Structure formats: C-alpha cells, structure tokens
Amino acid sequence: MKLNRALQQWLWLLSIWVISVLSLGIVSMGFKLLMTAAGFKS
C-alpha cells in the first residue's frame, strides 16, 4: 500500500512536470510566431 502511494506521488509529480514543459514550449512557439508576424527575425 505504501509503495503504491509513493508510485502515485511520483506519477503525479511527473505528469505536472510534463504538462508544464509542454505548455512552456507552446507559449514559446506562440511568441516566436508573434515575433515573426511582427517582422522580427531571430
């Protein structure tokens, strides 16, 4: 039971991390698109 709870906590932490990394990537791609649309090139 204790092992299952620890595993569940790790999965929860990992899923939060994955979601945050993906959302950061989406936001950065959105900024890149906005900058390109505004005429800025990096």
The Cα 5–Cα 36 span in angstroms is 47
- Rounded CA separation 21/12 (Å): 14
Tell me what pLDDT residue 31 has.
Answer: 93
pTM of the shown model: 0.65
Residue pLDDT, tens place only, 2-34: 889 999 999 999 999 999 999 999 999 999 999
Report whether pLDDT(35) > 70: yes
Measure Cα distances from 42 to 2, 24, 30, 31 in Å.
51, 19, 14, 12
Are 1 and 7 contacting, i.e. CB atoms less than 8 angstroms apart? Answer: no
